A and B are shown apart, each in its own frame.
Chain A
Amino acid sequence: MSQTDEAKGWSCAGCGRELEIVKVGFSYLKGNFEVELPACTGCGQVLVSEELANGKMADAERILEDK
């Protein structure tokens, strides 16, 4: 599923807004990244999918742990 499609499937329960694709900053160990993800532009809540957490993020964590 594309980011946009995923964003369309969710809303922010607190703000009542639809999620938009925005740049989100991440950091781990000595690494800093920016990733485009669905998020609520009102309260700043970000949507990290299970697929992303167990896939690319986990891979990146592993790589950074061996750096």
Chain B
Amino acid sequence: MDQEKLREWEYKCIQEEPPECAAACPIHVDARLFVKEMARGDREAAYKVLAKTMPFPGILGRICDHPCESKCKRGEVEEPIAIGLLERSCVEQAAGKGRIQVLSRREQRIAVLGGGFAGLVAAWDLLKKGFKVTVFEGSGRLGGSLWELPEGLLPREVLCDELATLEALKAEIRLDQQLDAAAFEAICREFDALFIDRESLAGVALPLALEDDGMLAVDAATGATDRGGVFAGGGTGTRGAYAPVSEALQGRKGALSIERFIQKAQMGAGRENEGPFQTRLFTSTEGVEPEPRVAPSDAAGGFSDEEARAEASRCIQCECMECVKVCLYLERYQGYPKKYARQVFNNDGVIFGAAHTKNQFVNSCSGCGLCETVCPNNFNMGDLCHEARRTMNEHKFMPASFHEFALQDLEHSRGERFALGRHEPGREQSAWLYFPSCQLCATSPGEVDSSYRYLRRELSGGVGMLLGCCGAPAYWAGRDDLFREALGEVRSAWQKLGSPKVVTACSTCQSIFSEHLPEMESVSLWKIVEEKGLPASNCCCEGAGKSLSISDPCITRHDPQTRQSVRRIVRQLGYAIDELPLSGDKPECCGYGGLMFNANPKLAKDVIGHRAAQKKPAESAIAQKPVTPPGGWYRTRAMQDRDTVYYRTQVSGNDYLAYCAMCRDNLAAAGKRVSHLVELLFPQVAGGDPAARGWISWSERRANRGRVRGAVLRELGEEGVVTRPDHEKIVLRIAPEVLRRIDERRILEDDVKKVIYHAERSGKRLQDLKTGCLRASLQCENVTFWVDYTSGADGFTVHNAYCHRMKIVGIKK
């Protein structure tokens, strides 16, 4: 990824964009943070937030006309947050003003003509910038129309006190000045630049261009008049309602322009968002409960402490987080895509020496695309991660552990134990070719056989069989080389059978083929069933009166036709469909996609647990570490609501129906009652309960692939020649709980056999002196497997197995 690409990614994520209140504020006070501090009851911190941006916080905090409130997102639910009243409450009770930071002194002398609020703000900012400032005021006091405000709103004492700040900042104040054209010319000669307060100098004839209403004409973006070095602003009251915060903006604008004028810098550069602008931030108000605005019990006196806290607590702390709300992966790493893009970029960029601290992160995304669907800007984390994985492979810093198990499974599907391409028995050519997929064969071999027979009955011209892998795991791993190889094998086998039309029973294969083998025409098994009718053997009688929830595979997000086909079939089978909230174009992944299950098994387990809605992830990030980005506390509340919002109990109580083999197996492993569509259409046992089938081991899955292959060959009268190494002859006895445990550790029965075979032949074993149990280990490629076992007359009993990837170099003598 290069810098430019990074910028593109970063721009897409709007989480860091300012909230509506701050964007609407002419001087961009961070009202979200201010209100947050007020909600925490920390007035001092709240005051600091105001003082960071506000000139004369003691004045403006009391009198601001708060245009922020009209944009407040809470206002979409009921009344906006009373930001104005909260500011007033804060500055009225703030303990001290705090120090005002002044930059290093500069030599240039700036004159401010007129002590109205705009002029005062210009003076304030210029003093802070280090300039020598002289304020010329026609009357006997600074402040202009500020003196006309009611005492209750802006007490005279406060006003005097705040105005005294200018003197403290070493401004020279000249009161009772004759401000006319002659004085103006004299000041122009004496000073390096000028700011004119239009309110104070209204009606004074100056040799400067005017607007129709007699006000000094200024450039809206910079406040520049038609004379170089002379800037002006203020006077909102002349044209309409007196708007203190707009006066402040114009004074501030003038001060910045003067600084640029002095520095001879680009006057207009980077000032697009000066003043109110439309933020790009999206904030959903879905699920925000109406809470009425707190009314101060003492209307004139403003909020009490308690009232201020209560009112501030109504703030929803605007942020986007749409993707993070629906994705456990994005949530788990405690950031959001903009942050992640930068991290991925850093991880990519450092090839040698420094740390690749985001390797697992990059490889934990399922690539399901849900983020893109819910993102107002279509940010797709999967695309970002996929690209990064390719870079990791290319630059050889991809740890093998992240994908090795899945890629070995792919090798199995490509190998002699499974891969096969044949015409229909008794035929020399095929008009159709069934590609049931490696994973469906792994979980439902009998149903694959029945569905093949169905296709042969219903379709004319011969239906061949192609067993293999579409290469999806290699694609997800960012292994383009391996992906091309696997897909190339499918292509040549298909061509060898006469390039027939392909019937797929896996949405991932379907998607891979249509994207990467467009010349190969393919159609889903479900579409065929819909067209040709339900198979006679279906269990439609089972469905009558029952309802189930369809768990769409994430890969069908952009495939509404398949989703609809499946729903029509399910209804034909007699079931009522109770839709899951995250279905249709919003399904989550089951944890297999993108090989998340391999690179981050713990996360994958939580993801599927979430999807199965059995319970909340036991050790979720929420429980462990409360996150506190802007609005953290609100976000946490939204997260905690998620399970109840998205997974209503009446829905999660249903059996699920999957039409992706991995979804079925992963949901079943999470303890959810779930069946695969193929099991309803082509049941192996009449009146059975496929949803009760439950968990299946990786070893069994491989054996099942062999069963499908064997069945095809048997019908053709062929012998499947498979070379079986000696260790396979070992007979194992494994209790179900042990099998489940070692399967979760991704240890195959075949691995166990290799270890025992080696131990028994070499004699290299350790013995537990108490139990007599043997323990042996063997390094097979990158993994060292350990097995605890005892031998008996009828084979070996396996008590436990575990593994590690760290290599034992040997003992040091």
Contacts and interface: CB of A to CB of B under 8 A. Distances in A.
B763 A13 contact: yes
Interface string A35-59: 0000111011111101001100110
B136 interface: no
Interface in B220-257: none
Given A14-B763, A23-B812, A57 B399 contact: no
B805 A10 contact: no
Contact of B766 (A13, A26, A28): A13
Given A24-B811, A66-B359, A11 B806 contact: no
Contacts of A47: 766, 775
Given A22-B813, A25-B812, A66-B355, 15 more contacts: A8-B769, A10-B767, A13-B763, A14-B764, A14-B765, A23-B812, A40-B766, A44-B810, A45-B764, A47-B766, A47-B775, A48-B804, A65-B359, A65-B399, A66-B358
Nearest to A33: B806
A41 B811 CA distance: 8
Nearest to B359: A66
A61 B804 CA distance: 8
B774 A24 contact: no
Contact of B809 (A26, A53, A62): A26
Contacts of A53: 786, 802-804
Interface in B765-783: 765-770, 774-775, 777
B769 A11 contact: yes
Interface of B: 355-360, 399, 401-402, 762-770, 774-775, 777, 784, 786, 800, 802-813
A50 to B, nearest CB: 5
Interface of A: 8-14, 19, 22-29, 32-34, 39-41, 43-48, 50, 53-54, 57-58, 60-62, 64-67
A23 B769 contact: no
B359 A11 contact: no
A37 B811 CA distance: 9
A65 B355 CA distance: 10
Contacts of B800: 50
A24 B769 contact: no
Nearest to B762: A14
10 closest A-B pairs by beta carbon, nearest first, are A25-B809, A23-B812, A13-B765, A65-B399, A28-B806, A14-B763, A53-B804, A13-B767, A50-B802, A57-B804
Contacts of A25: 808-812
Given A65-B360, A65-B402, A66-B356, A10 B766 contact: yes
Contacts of B764: 14, 43, 45
B595 to A, nearest CB: 14
B359 A61 contact: no
Contacts of A24: 808-812
A66 to B, nearest CB: 5
B805 A28 contact: yes
B766 A19 contact: yes
Nearest to A65: B399
Contacts of A32: 809
Contacts of B402: 65
B802 A54 contact: yes
A54 B601 CA distance: 13
A11 B767 contact: yes
A16 to B, nearest CB: 9
A28 B399 CA distance: 10
A11 B766 contact: yes
B811 A26 contact: no
A33 to B, nearest CB: 8
Contacts of A8: 769
29 contacts: A9-B770, A10-B766, A13-B765, A13-B774, A14-B762, A14-B764, A23-B812, A24-B808, A24-B809, A24-B811, A25-B808, A26-B807, A28-B805, A33-B806, A40-B766, A46-B811, A47-B766, A47-B775, A53-B804, A54-B802, A58-B804, A61-B401, A64-B399, A66-B355, A66-B356, A66-B357, A67-B355, A67-B356, A67-B357
Given A11-B769, A45-B766, A66-B358, A22 B812 contact: yes
A12 B766 contact: yes
B766 A60 contact: no
A53 B762 CA distance: 23
Contacts of B355: 66-67
B282 to A, nearest CB: 32
Contacts of A19: 766
A12 to B, nearest CB: 6
A28 B783 CA distance: 11
B357 to A, nearest CB: 5
B806 A22 contact: no
A64 B704 CA distance: 36
Contact of B401 (A12, A46, A65): A65
B811 A27 contact: no
Contact of B777 (A10, A23, A28, A48): A48
A30 to B, nearest CB: 10
A19 to B, nearest CB: 7
Contacts of A26: 806-809
Contacts of B809: 24-27, 32
Contacts of A57: 804, 806
B809 to A, nearest CB: 4
B178 to A, nearest CB: 73
Nearest to B363: A65
Contacts of B811: 22-25, 39, 41, 44, 46
Nearest to B770: A9
Contacts of A13: 763, 765-767, 774
Contact of B769 (A10, A48, A54, A64): A10
A21 B358 CA distance: 37
B334 to A, nearest CB: 15
A27 B807 contact: yes
A32 B809 CA distance: 9
A29 to B, nearest CB: 6
A65 B810 CA distance: 22
Contacts of A67: 355-357
A52 to B, nearest CB: 8
Contacts of A64: 399
Nearest to B765: A13
Contacts of B804: 48, 53, 57-58, 61
